[in-house]
Structure formats: structure tokens, C-alpha cells
Amino acid sequence: MTSKKEINSQWKHYGWEEKFAGVLQKPVTLSEIECLKNSRDKTSVWKLTLNSGSETVPVILKIFQQPLKENHLVEMNMYRKAYPVFQEMMPKMIWLESDVKNGEFWLFTECLEPVRGQIKLRPYHLERMIPTVAKFHALTFKNRLSDKQATLFDSWLPRYESKELTAERIQHIEKTKEYLDLAMQDPDLRKVVEPAYDIIKVILGKGPIFFPEVIEAGQCLIHGDLHIHNICCQDTSDEHNWPVQLIDWESAKYAPCWYDLVVLVELLIDFRGDWQKKEDDIRSRCVDIYNKEMAKYGIVFKEDPVKLLKMNYLQRVLEKRLLNHLRRVLNGEKSLLLKRYLEKIVVWGKELNLY
């Protein structure tokens, strides 16, 4: 695991002071190092404070350890290659050093202000973030890029409809069936799973695409992990539209556009018991804004947008999330979402004619 001492010594070894001075166009010295995340995970995140005269310049360092995962390469490629397309919505890369000690990649980026920490999150805050999400989606919606821009994404951007991701979905669904059976053999878990068991077994047989509408609505480059911790904003004073920037690009892919709204809105509702009294209202306001904002870019959805959100939610749960949460509880860990997933599959599955 990386330590502050090591960052200091690599800082000198690689001569980053001079390299950064070139990029930032001002002389800098390293003054402070703060650890933001350093778990057994394959990445650690640090905040470095640089001094430039009387000015301080905060910089984020994300360290990717070997063996690199595919999503680590995706994040680095977002900074290395896709930045020209999305520069408004992402921090700037300052430096990427490959092969630091045992093949680690050290990615230095601009430090932004996470939304969390600036505000006490309320449902109306989501409405201020959604216009930027729509703008971000519209840039690549249905491959609407110039040929030159499109080549930026060739060879590294995962695609929802690729052979690999399709095979992965099929595998996940098979595994979900197995885990449901295992859960039925555990007396405590059985109580949770049994009311939905028969219905979910029938539904899973219809995969891997449960709603063609999800694909038909249109795909674009999505962030893929758009929860509140990954959203930054340098100015939250505007009451209508925040200039949002996104961090943590590991899950970026070319995929159904509504997936980002599922994470941003629906998953938050799932976690926030206190928002659930007003969930219909929160959901419909958010999807309405997304729908109207997308229309500004000439993107019109044929399906009712609330229905689209629900379909995308169920598709995402059935192809992967249900499996993750079943695995968790079977390993003796807690899951705040399993019960809610099961209930929503039953209720929305009926509403959307899945069974």
C-alpha cells in the first residue's frame, strides 16, 4: 500500500515539480499530502496540496495498482483520449505516469469540489444536476460524433451490445438463478426471497434483454456510476442549473442513456427511506427534466419517460445488481437493497408486463 513517504519520494524521483510547472504554467512545490482513500482495493486516492507563490493548488492523485482491471484502463482513457469531447464535464488531467514501481499508474487530475459536503442533499438538488447529465449524454447520443471524435473511443470503450458484455449478462442471469436457489435453502434468507421466487424465476427466463425499449430509447457514453459521491460542482449558487463535473470514470461505457438516471435518481430513492414517501413525485420531476433537456438537443423519446426509467431500473437489477446483492447476503454481509430490489421486480414487473 502507498504511503505519504512514498509519494514524497516518487515526487522527487520523477521530477514532477518541473513537469507540473510546465502543464500548470507556474512553478509549484509539494506542501501537503492527504489520503482520501486507501483500502485493500486496487486503487488509492490522495489529495496533494501544491504551493505556487502565495497560491495553493490542490491536485488529486489516483493510483492504479497491478494487475490493472479493464475499468481502470477505461478511466485512464477517459482522461487521456475522451477529454476533448467532455472537457466541460470532467476534471483536467495534469499528468499520467505509467510504470511507477511495480507497474502502477499514477494519475494526477485537477481537484474539484464534491457536491457532497457543500449541501445537505434534497430532492430538488437532483433537478439542478440533471441538465448537465442530459448535455453530457447528448454529445455522444446514437453515435452523433464526428468521425474524428469517434476514433477517440475505438478499441477501449466497452459497449453494452458487444459480444463480451452480452455473454457476461447471460452468465450473470444464470448465476442469479443459482443464487436464488441457494438463498431458498437458508432459513432466514428464504423468508425474504420466497414471496418473489417464482415470479423472478419466470422473469429471468426472458433475459438477457428484458425490455427492448431500453435499447430502442438510445445509447450514448454514460458515466455508469453516477451516484452523488462522484458528482462535483464548483458553484452551487444557481437555482436552476449547476455546472456539474463528474469524477470516477471507471464504469464509463456506451450503453442505454437512462442508466445514469437510474443510479442518480432511483438508487438514491432506494437508499433514502426518508424520500420514499414522495418517491413518485421525485421520480416524475427528475425524469421530466431529463426528458425536456434531451429534447433541447433534438432527442425525443417515444416511450413515457417514467416507464423508461422503470424499465432501465429493472433491466439493470435483473442483469447484474440482484446477483451482487444475493452474493453479498449469501456471504453473510448485509444488503440494504435486496429486499427493495425483490419488491420492485414484483411490482414494476407486473406493471410493465414482464409476467
Ligand X SMILES: Nc1ncnc2c1ncn2[C@@H]1O[C@H](COP(=O)(O)OP(=O)(O)O)[C@@H](O)[C@H]1O
Residues that bind ligand X (CB under 6 A): 36-37, 43, 45, 60, 62, 91, 109, 111-112, 114, 229-230, 232, 247-248, 250
Residue 229 Cβ vs Mg ion, minimum distance, rounded to whole Å? 5
| Pairing state between β 43-52 and 219-222 | unpaired
Rg from Cα positions in the chain: 22
Partner that binds at residue 2, options Mg ion, ligand X, none, CB closer than 5 to 8 Å by kind: none
Share in percent of the chain as helix, strand, coil (round to 5): 55, 20, 30
What is the spatial distance between Cα 261 and Cα 334, in angstroms, rounded to a whole number? 25
Residue 248 Cβ vs Mg ion, minimum distance, rounded to whole Å? 4
What is the spatial distance between Cα 209 and Cα 134, in angstroms, rounded to a whole number? 24
Q: Kindly tell me which of 69 and 175 has the beta carbon lying closer to ligand X.
A: 69
Q: Kindly tell me which of 12 and 37 has the beta carbon lying closer to ligand X.
A: 37
Considering the rule CB under 5 A, would residue 213 count as an interface residue with Mg ion? no
Residue 44 Cβ vs ligand X, minimum distance, rounded to whole Å? 8
Partner that binds at residue 244, options Mg ion, ligand X, none, CB closer than 5 to 8 Å by kind: none
**Which residues, in sequence order, are CB contacts of 281 under 8 Å at separation 6+?**
none
Q: Which of residues 41-60 bind Mg ion (CB under 5 A)?
A: none
Cα dihedral 8, 10, 13, 17 in deg (nearest 10): -60
**Measuring CA to CA, which residue among 315, 347, 349, 343 is closest to residue 192?**
343
Q: Kindly tell me which of 75 and 293 has the beta carbon lying closer to Mg ion.
A: 75
- Beta bridge partners of residue 54, listed in sequence order: none
Q: Kindly tell me which of 43 and 140 has the beta carbon lying closer to ligand X.
A: 43
Residue 230 Cβ vs Mg ion, minimum distance, rounded to whole Å? 5
The number of residues making up the chain comes to 355
CA-to-CA separations, 5 to 64, 97, 195, 341, in angstroms, rounded: 18, 18, 54, 44
Q: Which residue number has the CB closest to ligand X? A: 248
What is the spatial distance between Cα 208 and Cα 296, in angstroms, rounded to a whole number? 32
Q: Using CB under 5 A, which of 104, 213, 248, 260 touches Mg ion?
A: 248
Residue 112 Cβ vs Mg ion, minimum distance, rounded to whole Å? 12
By CB under 5 A, which span of 230-238, 256-264, 315-323, 331-339 interacts with Mg ion? 230-238
Q: Kindly tell me which of 79 and 258 has the beta carbon lying closer to ligand X.
A: 79
Q: Kindly tell me which of 67 and 298 has the beta carbon lying closer to ligand X.
A: 67
Residue 114 Cβ vs ligand X, minimum distance, rounded to whole Å? 5
Buried b / exposed e along 117-142 (16+ C-beta atoms within 10 A): eeeeeebebbbbbbbbbbbbbbbbbe
Partner that binds at residue 114, options Mg ion, ligand X, none, CB closer than 5 to 8 Å by kind: ligand X
- Beta bridge partners of residue 108, listed in sequence order: 61, 95
**What does the binding site for Mg ion look like in residue numbers (CB under 5 A)?**
230, 248
